Structure 1
Amino acid sequence: MSIVTVLENSLSQDKSQRETALNFLQDAANQNLVQFLRQLSEILRDVNNTTFVRMQAGLQLKNQLYSKNSSVRMQLGQRWLTIPEADRSYIKENCLLTLGTEVQSSAAQAVAYIAVIELPAGQWANLMQVLVANVVDQASTPLKKQATLQAIGYICQDIDPNFLSAQSNEILTAIVNGMKKEEQNSNVRLAATQALLNSLEFTKQNFDIDAERHYIMQVVCEATQCAETGIKVAALQCLVKIMNLYYQYMETYMNQALFAITYEAMKSEVEEVALQGIEFWSTVCEEEIDLAIDEQESEEKGLPPTVSSKHYARGALPYLVPILTATLTRQEEQDDEDDWGPCKAATVCLMLLAQCAGDAIVGAVLPFVNDHIRSENWRFRDAAVMSFGCILEGPDPDNLRSLVENALPVIIELLRDPSNVVRDTSAWTIGRVLDTLPGLVVQEKFLNPLLHGLVEGLGAEPQVAANVCWAFSSLASAAYDQAVSQAGTSDSRSAQVETYCLSGFFEPIVGKLLETTDRQEAGQHNLRNAAYHALMEMLKHSPRDCYATLQKTTLIVMQRLKSIQDVADKLQTSHDRAQLNELQSMLCATLQSVLHKIDRNDAPNIADAVMELLLRMLTQQQVQQHQPADDEAEQQSGVQEDALLAMAALVDCLGEDFIKYMEVFKPVLLSCLRSVTETQICMNAVGLLGDLCRALGERIAPYTDEIFVILVELLSSQAVDQSVKPSVISAFSDFSLALGPGFFKFLEIVINTLQQASQAQVDVSNPDQVDYLNELREACLEAYTGIVQGLKGNGPTPHTQELRSIQPAVQPMLHFIAMVARDPVSTDEVLGCACGLLGDLVTAYGADLLPAVSDDVFSAMLQKCRRSKVSKAKTLAVWTTKEIRKLKNLQTA
């Protein structure tokens, strides 16, 4: 059977024939990949083959070059580069010669996938010249130009911009040639405009040159005036991205063209066009919000900002608001909440405008709200309430207070509006009010009618009820914060209040939320999740006089978890398991909330039952992980992650009493620590180690040998995600503090590990890598600090022998602190940890360390952190400075 026939059969309606063909193709790839790829490229090139066969050949070629999974994609790329150059050249030539011979170009994708592999490897150096020639050659057919421009667009979309910046001139030559208004073929012009959209990130050097930038902007602006909707939309998308990337160059164009172009686009009856007009101004707002933050930070440092805001959004406010509010009136009752259209875009844009313009937005929007909030037309009522909710973040809350006081009774009344859309928006807006002015809403004159409206809203349509749940979440924290404030306690996280304004309503609210989680339609509009989240917030923010309700709710949650676990063992399909796992995960998170509020004296009464539930949950999930999924719907449920978090809450609740469960829990804990392919499970298990160390202290010693071996394996394993490694290093600190001198047996390995980790280098041009470096360094500093503190002991007299054992590591520690202090990428959080370690070394080793810590680099670091806005950094720097001065004073005395 020929490959052509197999490709035809791979599209068959007969499932058996289709599967046989696909298996044959995979076998062919496995047995002789080079020959298989050569044949596919020949079939793709041969115009005598049917369209479908050629498309399938291109798809099979793509599957051997590309995968959505990044690690698989890397392996495929490496495999391609091992193919002999002559064979690769033959395949590439066939793909290039195919361009322009298909209606829907599979070759364009094939060329792009090969290019994304070869260009970073310094190969296929003449590709761009060939593609540019295809576009500018007068003899090229429109189909050839279109396919070539698509190939350029695909390459630009998937490749790291750094590998194409040197060829930006050639790429822009081809793209602009295809975009020009003189180009008669609209398909060519569309492909060129889409290619420009994908190439903008590596054309900075072209935008830096006035003449080149002017020409690019002229071509893009002309394309926005094209009668073809597709070209107009793509050109507007280019303007959105240009504003995002090159804001600093836009002043001339904003005045001459961009305002008028986007203003008209926003008013368009064509949704796709209007959407891009709105997106443009949302992007302007986002850029100017970021610039305002940058300007403030620069001012604090006494430096001029790199780029100054031109305040386009504030200047355009009188023109933009009427269009946005009018757009809000075009919603439909049955709009899908997941569909992104002009109405939703207008909502976001109005919210961003409020953050950008501050108090100025109020005067621009308020007339519309006043005119339409009681309109007979539900669309205008809804738009008025939505507009009001949108402007609550940005203006000074004190300036909003009287406005909200006047509007709130009307919005509460609209919770009972005949239109479910208006009810939904009203519930959302009340949540916004609670986030902005929480103290106002919990006043008695508003609270009673609000609670009646919200409780009634829990029985409304799922979409409305979900927003009501969000309002309850905000109300719970607002009421608790008010009670904490009235009690004069500064830290609401650790405060425990006797009563608050919701106490009289607490039990019926919790009961209604529990009912809502069990509603038949709770799966719609994320209602069940929202109800459980509201329940968690109510329990988390419950005062002492609601403790009885909290206890009852704990038993209800535990009973529900048990019922689910009894059912879980009997489920057959992965889809059913996934649904049940989601519910189990929410219940587990709720259990975590109540465990944090249970009295230490009451904890033993439920601990055995909770432990049984959590162990069963963890073991069930470990069994599920080894079962093959029977459909693609089954996703990682997150149950194990939530169970580990709940276990941490139980550890915190029981303290030292958790020791009775360690023997039975240890195998499960070790299994979770070894889950290297499940990053979050591994992370949560490592985090739980810290909780165990703090709760059990020295009593954890019998279990540390096995755990320590796994931690070291995690640090050396290539299969472990790098995000896990800072957490593992931090765990060494917890072990040292718990074990004290008992940590000595691990000391040599840990010190060597920390010295290696502290020398890590990353690509500082990559923000993600810089974040990782700071996390890693912070973890190393915390580990060193834990070791010094653990070996020094808590008494007034340091453990001299133990401290002498790590004295050889003191100088490397000081070098590490100095390196962190000198590195401009170090955050204040990292510098604060460095100050803390420096202080611990000074208190441990005394005057012997004074000559070393008198270095200017340490003085500059301490001075910087004393002025930091990060309170921990400031506190540690002040403490360390005092300790150094104390030692100096003793010396001089």
Structure 2
Amino acid sequence: MEWQPVEEPLTQLSGYLRDSLNGADPAAQKHATEVLKEAERSPDINNYLTYLFIRADPLPRFSAQEWLLVRQAANLLLKNHVKQNFKQFPPANLEYLKSKILLGLQDPHSQIRGLTGNVITELVRHGGILSWTDLLTRLLTIVEGSDPSLGEISPGAQEGAVSALAKVCEDNKRSLDRDYNGNRPLNVLIPKFLQFTSSPHPKIRAYSLGCINIFLPSKTQSVLVHIDSLITVIFSLAQDSSNAVRREVCRAMVHLVDICPDKIYPHLGGIVEYMIAQQLKVEEPDLSLDAAEFWLTAGEHDQLKLGLGPYLDKIVPTLLKSMVYSDEDIARLAGQGDDADVEDKAEDIKPVFAKSKQRLPNGENADVGDFATNGAKSAGEQAIDDLSDGEIDEFSEDEDGDEDPEDRWNLRKCSAAALDVLASVYHQPIFDIILPYLKDNLRSDQWPYREAAVLALGAVAEGCLDAVVPHLPELIPYLLTLLNDGEPLVRQITCWTLGRYSRWAATLPDESLKQRYYVPMMEGLLTKMLDGNKRVQEAGASAFASLEEQSQQELKPFIEPILRQFVVAMDRYKDRNMFILYDCIQTLAEHVGQALSEKRHVDILMPALIKRWEKVKDNSRELFPLLEALSYVATALGIVFAPFAQPIFYRCVRIIHQNLEMYIQAAKVDANGTEGAEWPDKDFLVCSLDLLSAIIQALDSTSDQLVASAQPGFFDLLVVCMGDPNNDVRQSSYALLGDCAIYVFPQLQRYLPRIMPLLIEQLDMSNNEPEFDELGAMDAGYSVVNNACWSCGEIALKQGPGMAPYVESLYTRLLTIVQTPDIPSSVTENAAIAIGRLGLGSCDDLAPHLEDFARPFLDSIKNVAETDEKDTALRGFAMIVGRNPEAMESCLIPFFKCIAKYREPSPELHHLFQQTVTGYQGFIQDFGAFISQFPPDVQNDLQERYRL
């Protein structure tokens, strides 16, 4: 017998659900929320929620509007229960939910139909495709209008079903493309979606093509076998009356550029005309944006980008037209005036994420974003990144009408990025097209056209620089005058554009030219950092950071006035703009280095930084960029940072301890199945660990007292962080471990029995399979292994023979790394260096293995710069070779080449190389014949340096 609700609790529950969404009566709302929390303990609560959600006719004493609120609240609770407690669902309740939820697709309210799809999606997300074997079939039959269990299917139900399918597809892209006992769901879905694109209902056509678009980027075979049919469908829908359908057509075209450019190339002329027509439908901004995306994709495709050449005179004017603020945006943004004294709202502050460092074998640090060998940015991505500095803040598809248009990806920004991409392909021809536009609009008395022209000039800065340079002596002074424009949006975009030409200004060859252009540009941007409008402040600071990047050593004569401006900004800025100011401070410290440590500079900067440091709370997200900036400042100041180090060091230790404690508490709450576990943000750990590294490096061996007296125990906390499940935390932990080995090894040494097992485990490649995101960028997995290899080498260098208990395990793991193909070179280089350094104290232990690792060691280390790390690694390797010279038979030639080409070996390494060469001279019977195999330059080097 099917479950049935009891009338009284049903009525009571309905009332509480209604009140829970009643914002007009806060007291009733609070009471209802508390009661509903208690009701969750009832074993039948999910059945009641399901029943109420799918029941269309109101209970007595409920109006139609009230009943809609009841159903919405029931859906919200039901979805959350599925999300949070799916594994605890009684099987009978789960079956009841599945048997009833599809009835919601028949509901006359479109909102209820959409909410039905949300619950279905959660069920599949947590249970998997196989947990509801007939779901896809049921949804497909509803779309077809032939599900007998639902009776007559309305068009609304068909739309609801295809909407639910779209949500399931979006959340289960990989699951639907897997083989289940010879069946692949996508093989059934794609033909059905193609069929549904001929539906008489526009929403079904749009959703069906949209579902196909979900799978197109993955290039799955299930789609590729139907590619010709899909292209036919796309062309047939191109003139569809529905804007939603044409949006999906544009999106499909963008995907096809990458999937089958050869099939669309013959139609490129028609496609260009079509995309231009859709982009010019400004009354449909979403459609216009989807069309504009085509230029970004096609403009960086090897086959198609040159094919756009004949159409540039049509494409570029369209982009320029789309770069003018819309009337709606003008009404919302124009004339905002001075707001620098207005406090920021919490929602105005964008999240900031820590950037972990990875250690390179040449002694340098690099951000993880620069590390992924398979993560190189495309021109379009780079254009978007570049346009983000003070102009494009972030990609967002949030279509909330109240959102600031400056904070979302839109037609204007997409068009500017596309112009940037096309300029990088066509160069002079692009500038020739936009030059008349610039002449007509740069001095326009209407600020939106003036602003758009400045944006266009900035967008072509990289690709058309050679063409623009002859005009810059006239343009730069004019742009500097626009920094004082009455419209803040013009001042904002002018800062950004000046930043785009900062490389030209910073590299001017003549001092008089620098005084004429570079210095005024610097002064102008510094001035705008203190503009009365916060957006102009942000753009000025961002552009100045770009100028710093390009200027580097050129900044040294200007450090004092720059710092004075930074300090004033630090005192005036509200929270949002402090983030970009920290970036300016960090960039300055990075590029001027020790010049920052002059007393006059320290006296200006450090009091202001310490004042901010004392103001920012331990749980503030502002701590991330502040910690990162302090890391760079500490590195630049070196020992001069010592007077400021102690409170900063101890606070970092305290922050790490607090966050580890919070993690333990959250894990306990989660393990008990209790809701509301507050997980700490791991960026607090990452930034604190990185700053500790910077301080230890800056203070050198004098940091040992800080490490020794830290409470809680420094290395106790580090051991916990080394085992953290988060890649970024482990990456920073192993970087800190290596620094401790270099600078405070006596403090570290007694913790090695606890540290080495973790280090050995981290070197296990089977535990560190990196994943790739949709853009092909690598995660931090390899960076963790990289830093572990590096720290292993530093410990081996200091510990010497004491590494004996760990040598066999370390060697096995490190050899696997250097033999693994297709991983970043810095990882294999650091692993090879670690093997070589192990040889310094354990050459007898490693000598029997020499034949196995000699070749990959030499291959990995050959491109490493001649640093102390390479020198010590080769010393260890030479010592191993001395214990087992016969093992080098297969790779003696590359070893001798390495010896010959090493330009400046240390005295110790030179001595070992001499011993090696002399030893083989007596060991090889016809040594002269052996030497004759080498090119003349190698023979000469060996003869001159090692007295052959």
TM-score (norm 1): 0.75
Would you say 1:450 and 2:499 are equivalent positions?
Answer: no
- Aligned equivalent of 2:202: 186
Q: CA deviation at 1:420?
A: 1.8
Task: Kindly state the Cα deviation for residue 155 of structure 1 after the two structures are TM-superposed.
Answer: 1.6
1:528 to 541, 554, 578: 578
- The reply to whether residue 233 of structure 1 matches residue 233 of structure 2 is no
Q: Does 1:379 align with 2:448?
A: yes
The reply to whether residue 322 of structure 1 matches residue 317 of structure 2 is yes
The CA distance in 2 between the partners of 1:862 and 1:251, in whole Å, is 54
* CA distance in 2: counterparts of 1:429 and 1:464, whole angstroms: 13
Alignment partner of 1:163 is 2:176:
yes
Q: Please state if 1:260 is matched with 2:273.
A: yes
The whole-number CA distance in structure 1 between the counterparts of 2:915 and 2:277 is 66
Corresponding residue of 1:746: 806
Pair 1:411-2:479 in alignment: yes
- Are positions 1:433 and 2:501 aligned together? yes
Cα separation, 2, equivalents of 1:845 and 1:747: 17
Amino acid at match of 2:634: L
Q: Confirm or deny: 8 A CA contact 1:434 1:475 kept in the other structure.
A: yes
Q: Distance in 2 between matches of 1:4 and 1:243?
A: 57
Task: State the alpha-carbon separation in 2 of the partners of residues 465 and 253 from structure 1.
Answer: 47
By how many angstroms is 1:457 displaced? 1.7
Residue type at the aligned position of 1:655: D
Calculate percent identity across the aligned residue pairs: 16
1:588 aligns with 2:627: yes
Where do 1:441-480 residues align within 5 Å?
443-460=514-531, 461-480=533-552
| Residue of structure 2 equivalent to 1:486 | none
* Aligned residues of 2:847 and 2:880 also touching (Cα < 8 A): no
TM-score by length of 2: 0.71
Correspondences of 1:729-740 after superposition (within 5 Å): 729-740=789-800
Q: Which moved more, 1:624-633 or 1:57-66?
A: 624-633
Structure 1 unaligned residues grouped into runs of 5+: 68-75, 292-307, 484-499, 569-576, 761-769, 793-798, 867-879
> Is the CA contact 1:136–1:174 (under 8 Å) kept in the aligned structure 2?
no
Letter of the aligned partner of 1:280 in structure 2?
Answer: F
Number of equivalences? 771
Aligned to 1:506: 559
Matched, 1:63 2:80: yes
Distance 1:735 1:827, change over 3 A: closer
**RMSD of aligned Cα (Å):** 4.5
Q: 1:60 to 1:757 in 2, by over 3 A?
A: farther
- 1:487-636 paired onto structure 2 within 5 Å: 503=557, 505-519=558-572, 521-523=573-575, 526-542=576-592, 547-557=598-608, 559-561=610-612, 563-564=614-615, 568=617, 578-579=619-620, 582=622, 584-598=623-637, 600=639, 603=640, 607-620=642-655, 622-623=657-658, 626=661, 636=681
1:716-743: CA deviations, max 9, x gaps? 9999995645533542222111222232
- CA pair 124-645 structure 1, distance change in 2 beyond 3 A: closer
Q: Which residue of 1 aligns with 2:429?
A: 360
**Distance of 1:329 and 1:457 partners within structure 2:** 23
Q: Which amino acid aligns with 2:736?
A: L
Which of 144-153 and 350-359 deviates more?
A: 350-359
Aligned twin of 1:391: 460
Shift, 1:380, TM fit: 1.9
Q: Deviations over 1:430-454 (max 9, x none)?
A: 1111145631397122134324423
CA contact (8 A) 2:121 2:168 kept: yes
One-letter code aligned to 1:412: L
Task: Give the whole-Å Cα distance in 2 for the aligned partners of 1:632 and 1:425.
Answer: 43
**Cα distance change, pair 464–686 in 1 and its aligned pair in 2 (3 A):** same
Name the CA shift for 1:394/1:810 in 2 (closer, same or farther; >3 Å).
same
In the TM superposition, what is the alpha-carbon distance from 1:528 to its structure 2 partner?
1.7
Report the residue type matching 2:574 in the other structure. A
Partner of 2:17: 10
Counterpart Cα distance in 1 of 2:920 and 2:474: 63
Q: Which moved more, 1:261-270 or 1:411-420?
A: 411-420
Distance in structure 2 (CA, Å) of the matches to 1:192 and 1:881 = 70
Q: Secondary structure at the match of 1:471?
A: helix
Q: Which amino acid aligns with 2:568?
A: E
Q: Which amino acid aligns with 2:610?
A: Q
Q: Distance in 2 between matches of 1:518 and 1:791?
A: 54
1:65-95 deviation digits (Å, cap 9, x = unpaired): 446xxxxxxxx67x38x975x8755543333
Q: Distance in 2 between matches of 1:411 and 1:450?
A: 9
Q: Which residue of 1 is the match for residue 942 of structure 2?
A: none
Change (3 A) 1:561 1:642: farther
* Offset of residue 16 of structure 1: 3.2
Per-residue CA deviations over 1:191-237 (Å, capped at 9, x if unaligned) read 3343333343467446545xx43442343344443333333334433
Q: Are residues 1:659 and 2:704 paired? A: yes
**DSSP 3-state at the match of 2:106:** coil
* Contact 1:781 1:837 (8 Å CA) reproduced: no
How many Å apart are 1:37 and its aligned residue?
A: 4.9
1 CA distance for matches of 2:82 and 2:874? 52
Structure 1 residues 682, 310: closer, same or farther in 2, change over 3 A? closer
Aligned to 1:728: 788
The question of 1:131 aligning with 2:182 is answered no
Name the aligned partner's letter for residue 13 of structure 2.
V
Q: What is the SS of the residue equivalent to 1:443?
A: helix
Aligned in 2, Cα 1:631/1:697: closer, same or farther, shift over 3 Å?
closer
Displacement after TM superposition at 1:156 (Å): 1.1
- Judge conservation of contact 1:578–1:634 (CA < 8 Å) in 2: no
8 Å contact 1:161–1:201 — kept in the other structure?
no
1:663-674 equivalences under 5 Å are 663-665=708-710, 667-674=713-720
2 CA distance for matches of 1:516 and 1:126?
62
CA offset at residue 588 of structure 1? Answer: 3.3
Instruction: For residue 264 of structure 1, report the CA deviation from its aligned partner.
Output: 0.3
Letter in 2 for 1:358: H
State the partner residue of 2:294. Answer: 280
1:543, 1:97 → 2: CA distance? 68
Which one-letter code corresponds to 1:109 in the other structure?
A: N
Match of 1:764 in 2: none
1:685 maps onto 2:770 in alignment: no
Q: Which amino acid aligns with 1:537?
A: T
With CA pairs under 8 Å and 6+ residues apart, which has the higher RCO, 1 or 2? 2
Residues 862 and 216 (structure 1), Cα distance of their counterparts in 2 relative to 1, 3 Å cut? farther
Instruction: Tell me if structure 2 keeps the 8 A contact 1:595–1:650.
Output: yes
Contact 1:164 1:202 in 2 (8 A): no
Q: Who is 1:294 aligned against?
A: none
Unaligned runs of 5+ in 2: 1-7, 23-27, 59-66, 147-151, 179-183, 335-403, 667-674, 770-779, 900-911, 928-948
Offset, 1:687: 0.9
Shift of the alpha carbon at 1:852? 5.9
- The DSSP-based 3-state class of the residue aligned with 2:407 is coil
- Match status 1:845 vs 2:881: yes
Residue deviations 1:356-383, cap 9 Å, x none? 3334322222221222222222222212
Residue number in structure 2 paired with 1:196: 212
State how far apart, in whole Å, the 2-side matches of 1:66 and 1:245 are: 35
Distance 1:239 1:326 in 2: 22
CA 1:278–1:452: 2 relative to 1, 3 Å? same
Moved more, 545-554 or 714-723: 714-723
SS of the aligned residue for 1:337 comes to helix
